[in-house]
Structure 1
Amino acid sequence: MKYFFAFSLLLFVCCVQSSAQTIQLLDSNHTTSIRGLSVVNDNIVWASGANGMIGRSIDGGATFRWNKVDGFAKTDFRDIEAFDANTAIIMGIDTPAVILKTVDGGITWKIVFQDKRAGMFLDAMEFFSNESGMVIGDPMNGKIFMAVTVDGGNTWRSMPEQMAPSAEPGEAMFASSGTNIRALGKNELAFITGGTYSRLFIRNDKFVLPLLQGKETTGANSIAAWDKKTFTIVGGDFTNPKSTEKNCVLTKDAGKTFIHPTTPPFGYRSCVEYLSKSKLITCGISGVDISEDGGMNWRNISAQGFHVVQKAKKGKAVFLAGGKGRIAKLVW
C-alpha cells in the first residue's frame, strides 16, 4: 500500500511540474527599454524599443540581431507589427510621430507616415489583415487621433477630426505595450483609454471602465479579445506597481456589464494576452501572472518585470519583453 501511495504522489508531482509555467530569459544584453513585440510564428520574433533599437530573431529567440534605425537614434519605437522575417512596421511615438516600414529584415527602413505637430503622440498600432491597419494616438484638439492604411502600411491617411471620437478632459492612452487597441475580425476594433477618465470604445458604443482612474498615471493599459464579446482589460497605476486595486476587469457581453476577478493580477499590468479561451497571461513592471479560468483568478509565476507579452500569430510560442533589453519566453 505504501508503495502505491508513493508512486501516486510521485505521479501527481510530475503532473503538476509538467503543467507549471515558467519564464525563460533569452536576451538581456541591451540597455534599451522594449515595449514593441510581434511574434509571427514559433520562430520569427521582432522587438522594438527606445533609442531607435530593433531586434529580430528567426530561430525562436535563441539569437537576436539588433540594429539601430538610421536617423532615429533617439526615437522610442513602442509598437511593431511584423508579417514575416523580412517585413515589419514600427511606430515612433513623438518628436516627430513616425511610422517606418522595412521589407529587407530591418536593414533599411522607409518613412511611411510622419506628423510633426506639437503634442502629437502615437500609442499603438493594430492590423486587421496584412493590408488593413490602424494607428491610434492621444487626443488632438479634443479628438482621439486615428490613421488608417489599406495597402500594407505603405501609406497612411489620418481620420478627419470631425469623424474621430471625442475625448474627455484628461483622457488619453498609454503607449505601454501597443495593446490598447485590438481587432475584432476584419472590420471591427475595440480600444481603451486611461488617465483621469478610462473607457472602452467598441463600434459606436462607449463604456466607462470600473478600473482605477482619476490621475494621469491610472486607467486601462491593455485589452485582450477572445472574440467580439469576451475581453479582458488590465491597468492600474504604474506609479504604484504592486497595487492590486481595480487593476483588471472582464466582460463577456462587449462592455454592457463588467466583472472583477476574484483574485486579481498581482499589481499594475501593462499587457494581457489570451493563450486559449480559458488561459491568459498578463505582465507588468512587478511581475507576470497566469489565469487558467478565463481571468477570474490569477497566479503569479514570476516577480521579473516585463512591459509586453505576445503569443505567436501562427503557433504556440509566447514571448515577453521589458526594461534593460530583457526578452523572455514562456515555457508551458
Structure 2
Amino acid sequence: MKRILVLLGSVFFMGIAAAQKVQVLVSDKKVSMRGLSVVSDKIVWVSGSSGTVGKSIDGGTTWTWMTVKGYEKIDFRDIEAFDANTAVIMGITDPAYILKTTDGGTTWNLVYENKTKGMFLDAMYFWNEQSGIVIGDPLNDKMFIARTFDGGKTWSAIPDDKLPAVDKGEACFASSGTNITALKLSEAVFVTGGMRSRLFIRDNKIELPIIQGTETTGANSIAVKNSGKKRTIIVVGGDFNTKDSMVKNCCITNDDGKTFTTPAVAPHGYRSCVEFLNKSNWLSCGLNGVDYSTDNGKTWNWISKESFHVCKKAKKGKAVFFAGNGKIGKLVMNN
C-alpha cells in the first residue's frame, strides 16, 4: 500500500509539473534584465543594464527596444508601468536616478536624482497609478525610503528620524525589484538580507528563518496574498553563490510574522523572486530555474531549468512573464 501511495504521489506531482511550462520569448539580448512590469496580458515592460528598456504591446510576440539617452551606462533594475505610454524606471547608483516616460519611451524625464555617497536603490512598488515607494540600502545604518503621490513625477525622502534602523551588513538585494510590496492598502512591507535577514512590518523587525550571515545570503523577495481576513506571506532567497542549494531558502507566515513554517519541499535552489498568482498558486524563479506551488508554498515543483531574475503576473489579466540575463519568458498553462 505504501508503495502504491508513493507512486500515486509521484504521478500527481508529475501532473502538476506538466501542467505548466516556461516559453522563452527572447534569448539574444546582451543585457541583464531585472526590472519587469506586466500591465496586462498584452502590455509588458522590462528594464536592465546599459540603459536598456523593452516594451511589448502584443503579449511578448514582438518587442520595441530602447536605450535611454544620456543613461547608457545605467543599470535600471526596476520598472513600474501603468499603460503602453507611461512607465517609471529606477537606476540604482552612481548616482541614483528615477526617470519617467509618458510617450511610450520616446523621451524620459529625470524625476529624482541622489548623489549621496553610498546611495544604492533596490526596488520600487506602486499601490496604484499615483502612490508609490522606493527603498534603498542603508545610509548611516538606516534604510533609505522615498515616496511619491503623483505617479512618480516627484519624490520625497522620508525624514531620517522616521527611517527603520538596521544592523551592520544588513541591507536589501536589488535582484528583482520585489523585496518590498504592499501589505495592504497604503502600507508596505519589506525584507532584508546579508549578515542579518528580517521582515519589516510597521515598527516590527522580525527574524526570518532564512539562511543569513554573509553578504550573499538572506531574503531576496516577498509576496503577499490577502484573502478575506487571512493573509499569507511568502519570502524567498538563499545564497546566490550556491544557486542549487535548497537550505533555508523559503519561509511562510499566516500571522504577519508571529510564526513561520518552511516548505515540505522547498524551491529547488536560490530564488530571487516570488509571486502570488491566484487561489493557492505561487511562482518563484532564480539562477537555476522556476518553481511552481499549488498549495500556498508548502511544496514546490521545479517546472523549468531556465534561469530568470524576476517573474510577474499581469496587474490586469492572467499572463505571467519572466526576465533574466538576456532573455524574457512567459508561463504557459497546458490543458
TM-score normalised to the size of structure 2? 0.93
Q: What is residue 305 of structure 2 aligned with on the other side?
A: 303
Q: What is residue 192 of structure 1 aligned with on the other side?
A: 191
On the 8 A contact 1:129/1:186 being kept in 2, the answer is no
CA distance in 1, matches of 2:238, 2:17: 32
> For 1:160-183, what per-residue CA distance to the aligned partner results, in whole angstroms no more than 9, with x for missing partners?
111100011110000000000001
Do structure 1's residue 251 and structure 2's residue 230 form an aligned pair? no
The Cα shift of 1:30 comes to 1.0
Aligned-partner residue type, residue 67 of structure 2: K
Structure 2 counterpart SS, 1:229: strand
Query: How do 1:75-154 residues align onto structure 2 when only pairs under 5 Å count?
Result: 75-154=74-153
On the 8 A contact 2:49/2:76 being kept in 1, the answer is yes
Choose which of 321, 324, 334 in structure 2 pairs with 1:322. Answer: 324
Which runs of at least 4 in structure 1 moved beyond 3 Å after TM superposition?
A: 15-19
Choose which of 284, 291, 294 in structure 2 pairs with 1:292. Answer: 294
Choose which of 232, 235, 247 in structure 2 pairs with 1:233. Answer: 235
Q: What is residue 8 of structure 2 aligned with on the other side?
A: none
CA distance in 2, matches of 1:46, 1:117: 29
> For 1:199-225, what per-residue CA distance to the aligned partner results, in whole angstroms no more than 9, with x for missing partners?
000122110101000000000000010
TM-score normalised to the size of structure 1? 0.94
Aligned-partner residue type, residue 327 of structure 2: R
Q: What is residue 41 of structure 1 aligned with on the other side?
A: 40
Aligned-partner residue type, residue 330 of structure 2: K
Q: What is residue 175 of structure 2 aligned with on the other side?
A: 176
On the 8 A contact 2:253/2:260 being kept in 1, the answer is yes
Structure 1 counterpart SS, 2:161: helix
Structure 1 counterpart SS, 2:199: strand
Structure 1 counterpart SS, 2:123: strand
Structure 2 counterpart SS, 1:178: coil
CA distance in 2, matches of 1:236, 1:284: 10
Q: What is residue 283 of structure 1 aligned with on the other side?
A: 285
Distance 1:161 1:239, change over 3 A: same
On the 8 A contact 1:224/1:273 being kept in 2, the answer is yes
> For 1:255-309, what per-residue CA distance to the aligned partner results, in whole angstroms no more than 9, with x for missing partners?
1100000000000000000111311110001110001111000010111110000
> For 1:213-269, what per-residue CA distance to the aligned partner results, in whole angstroms no more than 9, with x for missing partners?
000000000001002731000000000000000000000001110000000000000
Q: What is residue 66 of structure 1 aligned with on the other side?
A: 65
What is the identity percentage for the equivalent residue pairs of Structure 1 and Structure 2?
A: 58
Distance 1:91 1:18, change over 3 A: closer
Structure 1 counterpart SS, 2:214: coil
Aligned-partner residue type, residue 179 of structure 1: T
The Cα shift of 1:185 comes to 2.8
> For 1:67-118, what per-residue CA distance to the aligned partner results, in whole angstroms no more than 9, with x for missing partners?
0000011100000000000000000000010000000001110000000111
Show structure 2 runs of 5+ residues with no match.
Answer: 1-10
CA distance in 1, matches of 2:177, 2:94: 18
CA distance in 2, matches of 1:82, 1:266: 30
Do structure 1's residue 331 and structure 2's residue 332 form an aligned pair? yes
On the 8 A contact 2:180/2:188 being kept in 1, the answer is yes
Aligned residues: 319
Structure 2 counterpart SS, 1:162: helix
On the 8 A contact 2:130/2:148 being kept in 1, the answer is yes
Q: What is residue 5 of structure 1 aligned with on the other side?
A: none
The Cα shift of 1:18 comes to 10
> For 1:116-165, what per-residue CA distance to the aligned partner results, in whole angstroms no more than 9, with x for missing partners?
11110000000111111100000001110000001110000001111100
Distance 1:16 1:95, change over 3 A: same
Q: What is residue 27 of structure 2 aligned with on the other side?
A: 28
Aligned-partner residue type, residue 309 of structure 2: H
The Cα shift of 1:16 comes to 4.5
